[in-house]
Each structure stands twice: as C-alpha cells, then as structure tokens.
Structure 1
Amino acid sequence: MKSPKIKIKIFVLGLFVFVAVFNLWSLRPVKIIYTSRQMEGSNDVVVNHFPLTDRDRVHWYLDHKEELLEVYNIPRSTDFDIVIWDVADGFVNLEENYKHDLYCFSDMKVKNNCIEKNMFLKIKLYKYGKEVFTVGYSGYSYAVDKEGKLVAERDEELFHKMRRTKG
C-alpha cells in the first residue's frame, strides 16, 4: 500500500501533465478548411482545432471577423447567418455514409462534399445591428452588451428540445 505522500505526489504530477497537455492542445491555431455560401445571407465555415469553451469560440469569431470578410468575403450582406462547422474526420461521401447525420455542400463538385453535423458556432446578425452567437447545441446564446461584455441567454425552447431528443 502506498503512503499518502506518494499518492499526493502522483496526483499532483498527473494534474500537472493534464494541464500541460491541455494548454498545448488549446494553443493550436484554428485552421479554416472550407467556406461556402449556399444562399444569399447564409454562410458556412468549416474549421479544424476550434476553441473548446463558449467564450473562446465567440471571441475567436470577434477577433477574426475582419479576416473572414477580407479573405473569404464572409459575410456579403448586412443581414446574415454564419455557421462554423467542425471538419472532424474530414469530408465524406453521402452515398457511402447515408446513415450518418451529414451536412453537404452542393457547391463542392467532388463526391466527398459532406461533413458530420457538428456545429461549433452560429452567428446571426439582425438588420437592426444585434449580433447573436449560438454555441453548438447547448441551448445558450450570447450577445455583446453596450459595455462590450459577453452576456449569456438560455434558449429554453432549444434546451428542452435537445433534452427530449437525448433521452
């Protein structure tokens, strides 16, 4: 039987390794894999290595808003949706993966034009200027208030819908 001091040292070492690995993983840059405009006002961005937390996801978008406009011409209108998707295991063929819940890009002229539906972030800009961020399927939306702070708002309808489908 190990002494309490050894158990504490093992625990602290394990915790240190976990934090170090997590920090290294979180420092990987987000890579934009593909962008698409399926219809006017609707924009899709497929990424790899997106941040883990709601706050970091929204702040990534806010920090890269100008880049999306300048480099990818997203968005092109003043009333828009942007959905940021996880590339996960890459693009797949719908015919070979028809049992999966896929999101396909009709503007891609290759057979592997679908990804698994894993939405990281949805940004909606309304005509009156309010920008709303919905993170994944969590049931939470965020907006930036007048002081520049991120304010959370629970979407009760979405939250209860997701609870019903999970169990």
Structure 2
Amino acid sequence: MRVKNKKSIVLLTLAGCVLLGYWLWLSLRPVEIIAVHDNGNHSYVLVRSFPSTDNGKINWWLENKSSLKEKYSIPRPSSSGNFTIIFWLFGEGYKETDGYDRLCFDDMPPPLNCIDKEAVFSVNNSKNLGTIFATYDGKYQRQKNGDIVKFTDEFEFK
C-alpha cells in the first residue's frame, strides 16, 4: 500500500472518530429545562439539549414525566383528561415580538416575552386517542399494551 493511501485512510478514520465523538457528546448531554409556561391544559416547555431522535425524545418523556409532574405540575389535564405539552428549543432566549412568527407568552411582561418557534416534540393525551407523540419525523401512538406505534398514511386510530 502506498504512503498516500495510508495517510488518506488514517485521515478518514480520524475524521470518523471525531464525528462519532461529537454525536455521542450531543446525544449524552442532559436536557436543560429553561422555563414552563401554562395556558390551561396546554403547557409550553422551553428546553436546551433535547434528544435528536424520535426514540430518544419519546424515551426521555417516559423517563421524566413523573419528575415534570412533581417539579412543574405538568401536565395539567382538563376534566376530561386531555392535555398538550409542547417542547420548544429556547434558542437565543427571550425576544421581542416580531408581530408575526414568534411565540409570545401572556404570563410574562413584554417586551422580552417571545421565542422563535422551533418545536421539537409534543405530547397530547385525549380520552379517545390516548397518548400521541409528535416529532419532526412523524407521529406515534402509545397503545393500551404500552407499545408505541408510528402512524402511517393508512393508520387508523384504535
């Protein structure tokens, strides 16, 4: 094998290890909850370092839903049991309204009471459908037996 080929292989291997290390660092960082805002049975959770995969997001919810209830009193279901929790990336922090595409919170005084809209995950619960998880890549339903099934175009609610 030529020296040039050996150098290329070493360089590609090194680059692959660096990328793998960076991905592991990103995936192992703990989720940081910045704030929780409520609007009836809807809660908005502002986060940093949220899991990037659908499986990671759902597993994070399943592992942390009890502590969210204890620490932040969410979810707050309606009398019928319905609730929605949306997780938003906090990004660059609170901003002034742009009058168009920012999510603003009524429980904070303006002007710095808005964030850029970048939802990363939501959990919805209803009497008829049960628990639905929505991610960037799709929607999932938790079955009565605990299994989590991804929606397809032909999916029918049970």
TM-score w.r.t. the length of structure 1 is 0.81
Moved over 2 A (4+): 144-150
Q: CA separation in 1, counterparts of 2:42 and 2:10?
A: 53
Unaligned runs of 5+ in 1: 157-167
1:89 to 72, 88, 92: 92
Aligned to 1:64, the other structure's residue is in SS state helix
Q: 5 Å matches for 1:1-167? A: 3-38=4-39, 40-77=40-77, 78-94=81-97, 97-98=98-99, 101-128=101-128, 130-136=130-136, 138=137, 140-154=138-152
Q: CA deviation at 1:144?
A: 2.4
Aligned to 1:23, the other structure's residue is in SS state helix
* CA displacement, residues 113-144 of structure 1 (integer Å, 9 cap, x when unaligned): 111111011111012461000113x3x10122
Give the conservation status (yes or no) of the 8 Å contact 1:141–1:155: no
Aligned to 1:124, the other structure's residue is in SS state strand
Give the conservation status (yes or no) of the 8 Å contact 1:42–1:82: yes
Give the conservation status (yes or no) of the 8 Å contact 2:33–2:46: yes
Give the conservation status (yes or no) of the 8 Å contact 2:104–2:114: yes
Q: CA separation in 2, counterparts of 1:155 and 1:85?
A: 26
TM-score w.r.t. the length of structure 2 is 0.86
- The one-letter code sitting in structure 1 at the alignment partner of 2:139 is S
Unaligned runs of 5+ in 2: none
Give the conservation status (yes or no) of the 8 Å contact 2:139–2:150: yes
Q: CA deviation at 1:16?
A: 0.5
RMSD: 2.0
Indicate the percent of aligned positions where both proteins have the same amino acid.
Answer: 31
Q: Would you say how many aligned residue pairs link Structure 1 and Structure 2?
A: 150
